[in-house]
Every structure is written in C-alpha cells, then in structure tokens.
Amino acid sequence: MDQFCLLIKKGHSSIGRASVSKTEGWGFEALCPCQLLIMSKIAEFFSKLSLPISGVIALSSVIAFQAYAEESALIRGLVLFGGISLSLIIALLSSSGRVFLSFFKESIVEAKKVVWPSRKETAQTVLIVFAFVVLVSAFLWLADKFYEWFLYSIILGWK
C-alpha cells in the first residue's frame, strides 16, 4: 500500500502518528498528503491542451461556414456562432483563460478609479490640439513653399 501511495500521492509527511512508549518503532506509517499527483498531471495536461483545441474548433467553424455556402444563412450562422462560442468557453476555462479573466476584472476595477476629465476640460484640450495642428500645418506649408522657391528659383534657375 505504501508503494501505491508513493505512485499516486505527492510525497510523505515527516510527522506520522505519535509513538507510544510500548510500541516505540512499531507500526509507524508516514501520512500521505491529500493532493493526487496523477490527477494534477492530468489536469495540467488538459489545461495546456485546451487552447490548441479551442483554436482548432474556432478554425473548423469558420471553415464549415465557408464550405457550406449552399446552405441557408441561418444554419451557417449557427455553425459559426456555435463554434466560436464553444471555443471561447474552452479558452476561458483554461488556466491562461482564468488568468486573463482575472486581469480583465482587475482592469475594470482600476478603470473605475480613474478621474476622467470634465466636458469643459475635454473641449479645451480638443481646441488646443486643433490650434496646434493648424499652426504646425501652416509652418510646414510655409517651409515647403520656401524650399520649393529656393530649389527651383535659386539653385535650378527655373521660373
């Protein structure tokens, strides 16, 4: 039984049952932890495999949507929507999908903490940017005309 425990369980506890003076050294069994090594390896394998499976399902639904062009738009749309939905569910249930969802939820919480500008501040900023764009475009137009005049009139002598 102890060898079976080593194959399935992960490690052993260094503390077993407390010994009694009469049974010192007899019948001591180390306690195995509850986490199963095989089950965690299987879960890890399927977690790594879930994203490629999700991609294959999504790609298959797009290919099926194109391949069955003679079918009605409703059936094709259901195939596409169903395949994409299933692939998203599988992807979001994977370990990296759960990490993405927690990041997304934390991002929403942080976005709610942002102090957004008022309507007046936004309008003022837009006007400043617009004025700056007009000034820079005028400068670039003048610079272009100057270089055009300098190149064609002075250097090349064209009129």
* pLDDT tens profile 108-154: 999 999 999 999 999 999 999 999 999 999 999 999 999 999 999 88
129, 144, 40, 55: which is closest to 91 by C-alpha?
55
The helix-helix angle for 37-67 and 95-113 (nearest 10°) equals 80
pLDDT at 69: 86
Residue 60's pLDDT is what?
Answer: 95
Question: What is the predicted pLDDT for the residue at 42?
Answer: 73
Q: Give me the pLDDT at residue 76, please.
A: 92
Give me the mean pLDDT over the 17-31 stretch. Answer: 54
Question: What counts of helices (H) and strands (E) characterise the chain?
Answer: 5, 0
- pTM as predicted: 0.47
Q: Calculate mean pLDDT across residues 52-79.
A: 92
Q: Which pLDDT tens digit goes with each residue over 101-121?
A: 999 999 999 999 999 999 999
Residue 38, amino acid: I
Give the SS3 label for residue 68: coil
Report the alpha-carbon distance of residue 61 to residue 153 in Å, rounded.
Answer: 65
